[in-house]
Amino acid sequence: MDDGSLAVTRRALHAVAELVLAGPQYRRSRDIRLRVTPGGFGTVTGPDVRLDGVELVTAGARLPIGGRTCAELATAAGFEASTLDDVYHDGPHVPAGEVLDPDPAAAAWLARCWAAGDDALRRLAPAETPILWPEHFDIGIRVAETNYGVSPGGYRAAHRHPATVT
């Protein structure tokens, strides 16, 4: 895995997080929160969808995301891709029609980062449930008016700061 494939993969997964999971979830439940799952992340309310590595997992299918667009993935899952531009302004800004090209090794590394962050935050504050936020694509909790979080880095900074803990 090189820096370029990590950045491309993070962008692809961020697009899926917003357009295929959090956006459609928000349209149904007004909730943008996502959760860390084995191998990736998933919704917390309906539609029940998750990303496992580089596959979108629905109730009835496992769909490879490589070579597809978020619009195609959402349609195959039975709903419409949706941005969250009306909720926040600092998201991935990936068009629903952009073809995704994630690297499985980079996706696995990112999933391990989120899982490690989820575990660390649960140990720090067992009463809190970590949230994977689709806006900045980081996982966090709030304890006594202080935010704690873990991010596997941004698109441009991924090679310099592979994981940031705040």
Domain containing residue 52: 1-166
Task: Kindly state the helix (H) or strand (E) to which residue 165 belongs, with its residue range.
Answer: strand 164-165
DSSP tag of 28: H
Is pTM beyond 0.85 here? yes
User: For residue range 5-57, what is the model confidence (pLDDT) as tens digits?
Assistant: 999 999 999 999 999 999 999 999 999 999 999 999 999 998 899 999 999 99
Tokens of 124: 């720090």
Would you call 134 helix, strand, or coil by DSSP? coil
pLDDT value, residue 161: 35
Mean pLDDT of the chain: 91
Q: How many domains does the chain have?
A: 1
Taking every pair of Cα atoms in the chain, the longest distance, rounded to a whole number of angstroms, is 44
Environment class of 17 (CB within 10 Å of its CB; exposed 0-12, middle 13-18, buried 19+): buried
